[in-house]
Structure 1
């Protein structure tokens, strides 16, 4: 079995499913529990959702907009909240009416049983370098992978001996499940009463097989099990496959050939970025390192976050990662394992662009584009507006209907989702994508606000009704969320949309003057008497001063519009963050991850580091899966935590200038990172010592790269040439002289000539090659 820091490992089986190790290829997902005498592998297919209401539509409520706004403009926000929920709140939530969002469902469980394993020496691990789970039981070695590129889940057991292979699924009312076996195959067929049908097929290779019960008895030295899953819906007496891709197939070649293909495809994604920090890794199982996180555990979290994103949203799948990624063994998962669009779905993808995983955003893009027809209808039916409106929550069916009464009166979701489309364009530079996908989406969001924004008595454009997601003020009775006029987050989202519509529409030659004029008339952010940013635009006491949502700070991260605000507004936003922290904000995994990201964005490296450590210590399982207390798995926490680590190393200012090591913690005194991505197609690497940049390199970008200077002067080497670069307003301009790598060193405490001599001394050498001072230490006792 492999060793090294890019590996999670444990000396015992998973006690509960949340401690299992996940594998996935975006389409299929599996949780490996690693039992001793019995292995259980929970299986999912991205399209297996309940579908009672997969054709639902929003109700006609636009005639009530004026009635709702009347209460807000007369100052009775409590009555306005009641009216808005009655008009636009839909079902679910606290309404007592049915929530029509479907739940993500398990496909079944693969069960393997052996004889004589109970006393075996044991170790299980998740190899992040190869995307493979391994379980060692004495002389027996189990390997599990979900073959990247749309292949099956594969299990190989060397040293099998005698054992049984079967499929099962928990009994569920109104669900038909039938298991058949024969000829070395086990087939599970399931059907939901609303007409969703699926099949799980396990094919056994190797050994001698015979039918036994609802499975296959196998005797042999090495056994391979391939598992494929497919999903259909019944329409008019016939079946229609739900996935856009072709049916899954059992590979025709052997295990090693398939494994090599998987490892190569996975490595092309995972291997793009490498972060190495000086230090000795504790010889402890991963789960036991959480109690007092060592400096290298956040590095492992960063790698694990990239692994989870690839495994749940790899190129070629249809759907984005949901609240649980793609891993769910529960018939009734928390919040249906749905798509929450007031931070959770977005957080799943904060990591993607900067970590070189832009292709993994494609399923998210497909999803929001697929929702557009329903969202267009919802905007018209609910509010009488052009453009699109996205709900707070939805499911695989991509329907835009309010289904969380008390929470769902919010108009910011589509604007927030637009950010990921814009990022995809800025990082890729794909002009066709801008023209055909990004701008049409952004334009529809802007059109919605063009119709939805309303003038107050002073000619200011206001967002009414407006929400600060999931928060309320003290004294509001009967509703979990308070609605208002122009919440801080809505003002920031609208401003960002209008600015992007102007900028990107202008590039395409569109008429954008009306959106520029709207932005000039938009409501302004305000601070209160205590100098704190007003979350709801007026002085109101918070019901939860330490609330988990940090929506008013969106403009620091993931947005950037707060940086352009007046100093008193920026300071007020920082004070709001500090007040949230003082009152215990961050009591969920994803909230703690957002805190870490915000602190990193503000350049507070030690605070960001502490929040990442708290996330690991209090809000992850033994397998580092994120938790929503006390024991609810949500994938966003791990992905958001990984994004925070990336933000410590590289950030992009609103003006496009790169910031290297903007929030580097003291715990990382010496290290190197390479392969980070930046807008313009740039690939960025940094070597640091003593918390300071020693060398940076940039390659692959378009035009010139602007970077915050870490000295007044620096020396650039490219293609055998050298030249001096001088800072202008604290910024260096690098690149623009052809393809290849631009290596930059700053002149700190020495003149340019001495730095050039130093540079010449290392020409032709990789000064960090080998990194002998930080070669990975062995990760715990090795079982061979």
Structure 2
């Protein structure tokens, strides 16, 4: 592993603050994939807001609108005749789900620790140690007593742990309660345990949470009478140290959830705090230590004042236009922490807010938005060397496939399976919310992730048994759904999706109709080309020892790809046209850049193979900014990824700078629509990694989009497609050395270096499974 040692720099693996959190967006997250907690770090009233990933209201319903299949031909005919209003009305009546929405992910509850006597305090420090996944706070009382608190969420033992200590005996006296605003009741379970039993509204899950209180010294008493509402209170008096063990389960996947809850606490109790802590660190670091990044602007050391800045003070400087590379290193490390903490094998995928949510009806239901957000949650996961964290997405896709096949039949009379723009843990696949929910491309986009997992790991068994069946089913739906555009349309004889929607965007026709659905949106064409090309590649791989494998299906795919309409350049904007017709945009500053899917995350359009379309893609982004686009976190992340693929490093960097200047919250979550979202942050990391190394187009390009401000740096443990692992050092904008571990490589890829020194030559040295790139 290559690392350049840089001394006396700001820490890029810790967030820290001088004050307790007053709002949720200031609290610090802990999680183990299944459980989550937001640590506020209050001195006299310490609160942990708790989550368990399966606590959802509602339940699975057949929300498919069964009128859709019989009305589809009429809707298509109306759209081909540009009768947008009539088609939209009919589609809304016959295709949009009923009920129109599904229910929400919900909070579990609040764990509150209230001091019995007020502590006047100084020297307060609150922190999140990203390298060890431990949050904490420390302070001194006015009498000189030092207090320390730690919080972590153990995947090894499936408990959230809170530890309270002081440097003097008998200093810990407080009450403890575990509560929820409604739909639950707390109870005394045993002499050291409080439980929380509840059921989410509608047909939602039933659940159990509990806190076991372990005192060292002092006394513990649990009052079995409720003081207010549904609250049971435990009182700790004059303890030396106290450990709280918290866990929760629901009947979503654990029928005996109450027994499981208490069994888990008993096992953790037997281990004791030190062993729990050590096992947690060891398990977490088995993920976290695989990858390292350090970006620096120059070799000068930070002064003492800068090294003592809190994260919020550092962030305030950035908001004033002083973004330094070290902060980006911190942010990337934080994203790795969030991904590991919200997506583990055996768990559900990370949702819009990861696993953290403090409301009973979350913004956008904290659901799985499949028209960008769910995918963005996982964009950097393979490059981060965290392939196991990708598996919850694949497991969910396997579950949702059977529901998607029913939706495909009900709405489109098609085979295969489909997902529209949003879903939930129940596997809902219908067209939700309104007309813009009629976007049946979610499954196909998700299937790209199966392919990417193979590309990074070269696992033929996964490709054959997991990836291909899902990809094939998704493409089967699209091939059935495609329809030949008739004479009188702008692309007669071509195969198009109809109805077709460019996610959440609307257009204005020549005769003044405003619409969301049409035929042949560019993104649909790009996704079909993408998944079709992927499927052909997989068939070739899997047919190596079976000549006739899928020969009929292969021909059907090839014939369909030949009939897709071309990607066009708009005469109005000079950018890539978003729809088959060159419509006026209702909102030219719209947040989505869906029509640029073919550049990122797809690879239909590359600088080498499609220079004119690549330039047009850049003009598409310019057009948005010319028309007042001011960005949202996830959208700017996507734009940064596109600029990186277009090898425009300064423009990619400017998009990142916009995010850090305008869209970062106190706890480094990203502000989207006025709410925090986790996937937006992962988009930033994906862009950073694309700027440092690319491997999507059949070659490895090192430093393809390195901005001038990242003058030097190191990266190690970065995975690349083809089965490579990269360690790299650069200085003054030029590569110093790179090592590529080629242990899992099946087909070697050429290596290209792009540098600040344009004429600098490099040699590639092959030493068995190691490839070394150094100046010639």
TM-score (norm 2): 0.88
In structure 2, distance between residues paired with 1:360 and 1:264 = 17
**Residue 43 of structure 1: how far off its partner (Å):** 0.7
Structure 2 vs 1, CA of residues 27 and 54 (structure 1 numbering), >3 Å: closer, same or farther?
A: farther
Matching of residue 606 in structure 1 with residue 644 in structure 2: no
Distance in 2 (CA, whole Å) between partners of 1:244 and 1:269 is: 26
1:197 aligns with 2:206: yes
Structure 2 residue 197 is the aligned partner of structure 1 residue 179: no
1:131-280 equivalence runs, <5 A: 131-138=133-140, 139-149=146-156, 151-159=158-166, 161-172=171-182, 175-180=183-188, 182-193=190-201, 194=203, 196-207=205-216, 208-212=219-223, 214-218=232-236, 219-232=238-251, 239=255, 248-250=264-266, 251=268, 252-278=270-296, 280=301
Q: Matched residue of 2:472: which SS?
A: helix
C-alpha displacement at 1:306, in angstroms? Answer: 0.6
Q: Which residue is 2:341 aligned to?
A: 311
2:605 counterpart SS class: helix
Distance 2:598 2:701 in 1: 18
Instruction: Check the 8 A contact 2:177/2:234 in 1, yes or no.
Output: no
Are positions 1:653 and 2:696 aligned together? Answer: yes
**1:301-326 deviations in Å (ceiling 9; x for gaps):** 11011110000002232x10001100
Which consecutive residues of structure 1, in runs of 5 or more, have no partner in the other structure?
92-97, 718-734, 748-784
Aligned equivalents of 1:479 and 1:627: distance in 2?
Answer: 33
Measured in 1, the distance between the counterparts of 2:510 and 2:429 equals: 28
The runs of 5 or more residues in structure 2 that have no matched partner are 1-8, 141-145, 487-491, 544-549
In structure 2, the residue matched to 1:284 is 309
Say yes or no: does 1:109 pair with 2:106.
no
Q: Does 1:490 align with 2:524?
A: yes
Asked if structure 2 preserves the Cα contact closer than 8 Å seen for 1:201 and 1:229, the reply is: yes
1:551 aligns with 2:553: no
> Hey, what does 2:393 align to over in structure 1?
364
Taking the aligned partners of 2:594 and 2:243, their CA distance within structure 1 comes to 49
* 1:696 has 2:714 as partner: no
**Distance between the aligned counterparts of 2:63 and 2:585, measured in 1?**
35
CA distance in 1, matches of 2:444, 2:259: 27
Query: 1:152 offset after TM fit, Å?
Result: 0.3
Which of 498, 505, 508 is the matching residue for 2:542? 508
Report whether the alignment pairs 1:469 with 2:503: yes
Contact 1:106-1:330 within 8 A present in 2 as well: yes
Please say if 1:75 is aligned against 2:70.
no
Structure 1 residues 215 and 420 mapped into 2: Cα distance closer, same or farther (>3 Å)? same
Shift in Å, 1:277? 2.6
Q: Does 1:742 align with 2:749?
A: no
Q: How big is the shift at 1:599?
A: 1.6
Cα distance change of structure 1 residues 476 and 636 upon mapping to structure 2, 3 Å threshold? farther
- After superposition, the C-alpha distances for 1:529-559 in whole angstroms (9 at most, x for unaligned) are 2432211121211111111101011111111
How far apart, in 2, do the equivalents of 1:28 and 1:47 lie? 9
Distance change >3 Å, CA 594–CA 687, structure 1 → 2: same
Which one is further off, 24-33 or 534-543? Answer: 534-543
Q: Which residue of 2 aligns with 1:642?
A: 685
Distance in 2 (CA, whole Å) between partners of 1:221 and 1:359 is 40
Tell me the equivalent position of 1:579. 623
Between 341-350 and 6-15, the greater mean CA deviation after superposition? 6-15
Q: Please report how far the alpha carbon of residue 330 of structure 1 lies from its aligned counterpart in structure 2 after TM superposition.
A: 0.7
* 409-418 or 225-234, larger mean C-alpha shift: 225-234
Alignment pair present for 1:438 and 2:467: yes
> For residue 732 of structure 1, what is the aligned residue in structure 2?
none
Q: For the Cα contact (< 8 Å) 1:287–1:624, is it kept in 2?
A: no
Alpha-carbon distance in 2 for matches of 1:581, 1:689? 33
